[in-house]
Amino acid sequence: MRRLPRAVFDYLDGGAEREASLRGNTRAFESLTFRPRNAVAVPQCDLRTKVLGAELSFPAILAPIGYSRLIHPDGECAASRGAGAAGTAYILSTIAGHKLEDVRAASNGPLWYQLYLLGGRAPAEAALERAKAAGFSALFVTIDTGTAGMRERDIRNGTGQLMGGNWIGMIPYLSQFFSRPSWVAAYLMDGGLHKLPNVIIPGEGPMSLIDVGAALADSVVTWQDFRWLREVWPGPIVAKGVLTGDDARRAIDVGAAGVVVSNHGGRQLDGVSATLRVLPEIVKAVNGQIEVLMDGGVRRGGDIIKAICMGARAVLVGRAYAYGMAAAGEPGVTRAIAILRADMERTMKLLGCSSIGELDQTYVDVPRDWPTTS
């Protein structure tokens, strides 16, 4: 990425440890091949779907990305505007650089909130009250962050030292910024590294970004927390980070309205299965009782279609729109969404399918060693 310093690009692009799960997510889509119905005229494609009661123009939702403001000064507001203009939903991360009220004001489309219990239940309850008042309608609870993943690119790039405020510690890593003057200028004009405006610690104020890693380890989400969340959040709750049928059934037991089949984009536990590969296990486990979404490895419209064929209601896309944001802010997000939509329409016509409601496993060849929904 020619605009971003190496530390910022690798924060966005990288994964945990050997990055085996990061690579596996995309390779899984390559392993799944299409079975088209040829000699079929498809003049129009209906990509519309409904997720958590919200009507979406197509089955791709903009995923939460922590501190998007580092990627571009408009960050989360740019993503919110882009999603709303495209008729789809955006999920705001707890670790956001912009106030949730400003993000809500940027879009007239569906907005959902992603929750970490940073600092414990009191800051979370305060944020949820604000989100509810602002008009966020669903809650996504991330369950795969028992501690922060080992992201080795961040270590090599000195990310911790760069955020720590010690100039002596920063010196060995500053050269990467010299060749990115436009990013540096925009970063400084935006006021540098902001504290987290949606994580307010009682008696202390907004949490610093540097403190997030330690706070995650001290604030592990458990299934018992879902019962408390059910009391404080009136809308649908989704468990994000499910990789087994057992956890999907636990989500049902605690009242979740949906699950996201996710390995955190390969950024947490390395060596877990690709999300597309385990998607059928989760679909089979929930048996239509709750909605199943998925993320991880989605880079093209054809990937979205493959996920739908394997049983997902919709997908969350992260890096696919974040690269566009890094390049051009809101116009970059808009362009990324338009590319995904055009990819989907073209692929649907080549498949001989006029509606995503018709997609199922008969449109793909599933590798023999993959689980299936049947």
> Known catalytic residues?
264
Strand, coil or helix: 276? helix
Rounded CA separation 116/101 (Å): 18
Strand, coil or helix: 192? coil
User: How much is the CA Rg of the chain, to the nearest whole Å?
Assistant: 20
Rounded CA separation 305/34 (Å): 10
DSSP for 59-81 reads SEEEPP-TTGGGT-TTHHHHHHH
Categorise residue 274: left if φ over 0, alpha if ψ from -120 to 50, beta otherwise.
Answer: beta
Give the torsion sign (CA, 167, 168, 169, 174): positive
Rounded CA separation 93/185 (Å): 25
Q: Say if strands 138-142 and 237-242 run parallel, antiparallel, or are unpaired.
A: parallel
Rounded CA separation 185/86 (Å): 30
Q: Which residues contact 32 (CB under 8 A, 6 or more apart)?
A: 276, 306, 310, 364, 365, 366, 367
Question: Which of 363, 357, 361 is closest to 48 using CA atoms?
Answer: 357
Q: Give strand pairing partners of 355.
A: 46
Packed helices 245-253 and 223-232: angle between N→C axes, nearest 10 degrees: 40
Strand, coil or helix: 222? coil
Query: Which one-letter amino acid corresponds to residue 67?
Result: Y
